Amino acid sequence: MTPTPIDRLARRAGEAVRDRADHLDGHRPHVDGLRRRDRTRRALTAGAAVTVVVLVALVVLVQARPGSRPAIGDGTSPPPSEPRASEEPTEHGTPKPITDRVRIADGIFEGSDQPWVLHAWLTEPDVVCIQLRGTGCSTLATEDDPLGAVGTGMTRGLENQGCVYGGIDEQVATVEVDFLDGETVTLPSLDGQELPTDFYAYCWDGSRQPTSLRALDEQGRVLESADRP
């Protein structure tokens, strides 16, 4: 078969490439270089894997610290989503007076040494989360404790987790929160005082997205409103 012009050109082109590749072959990297490269690559891969493992472990440890995230009750309360960074209290900043955020009124919580009452009006809530940073928090309620009076699907709190959840199905709710001493924090007593740590409350609608929270005084005036998209 007679070679076509393209075929002839291709053969010449192939020959030229072979010539030059043979020239380059005289300078090819030694096989030891290949092995070194292999070892380096493996070391880098192993190093990257170790870094990832360490980072994951750090994240897990940080999240497992008491008070670093809302604790989930016994499973009957839906887990709330984490507050967004802009909404988070500053752990190392100056704590805001609690009266700037929510109304703490006189209240009676039987059996508690430190009775505090939070009046919160929740627009469309089915869950409220009250979270204390850096403090212990007593078990808030059981089905038969006073908190059970404010709504259905009552709360569960976990000791020393710094947060509690309450289910509420009324528009006006009085959530009585029993702040007991944590292991290292002594809470100030009574109304109008500053807490040693930040305090904030969130509520979630059924999809567990934060909606809004309004704190009212005893006359029903809005002290604080926090609407969220």
Q: Report the interface residues with another protein, using CB under 8 A.
A: 4, 6-7, 9-14, 16-32, 34-35, 37-38, 41
Residue 52 Cβ, how far from another protein at the closest point, in Å? 20
Nearest to another protein of 35, 208 (CB atom): 35
Smallest gap from Cβ 23 to another protein, in A, equals: 5
Q: How many CB atoms lie within 10 A of CB 60?
A: 9
CB 51 to another protein: min, Å: 20
3-state secondary structure of 181: coil
Please tell me the total number of residues recorded for the chain in this structure.
229
Please tell me what DSSP assigns to residue 190.
S
Q: Which is nearer to another protein, 13 or 46 (CB)?
A: 13
Q: What are phi and psi of 157, to 5 degrees?
A: -125, 155
Residue 65 tokens read as 């610290």
Structure tokens at 1: 């078969």
Question: Shortest gap between Cβ of 223 and another protein (angstroms)?
Answer: 58
Q: How far is the CB of 18 from another protein (least distance, A)?
A: 6
Pick 37 or 84: Cβ nearer another protein: 37
Q: What is the 8-class DSSP label of residue 169?
A: -
Instruction: Closer to another protein by CB, 9 or 58: give it.
Output: 9
Using the minimum distance from each CB to another protein, give the nearer residue, 7 or 218.
Answer: 7
- Smallest gap from residue 173 Cβ to another protein (A): 57
Contact 89, 133 (CB under 8 A): yes
Residue with Cβ nearer another protein (28 or 84): 28
Residue that is written with structure tokens 């929270």 in the block: 213
In the chain, alpha helices (H): 5-25, 31-64
Burial annotation 3-16 (CB, 10 A radius, 16+ → b, else e) = eeeeeeeeeeeeee
Q: How far is CA 192 from CA 89, 158, 185, 189, in A?
A: 19, 25, 18, 9
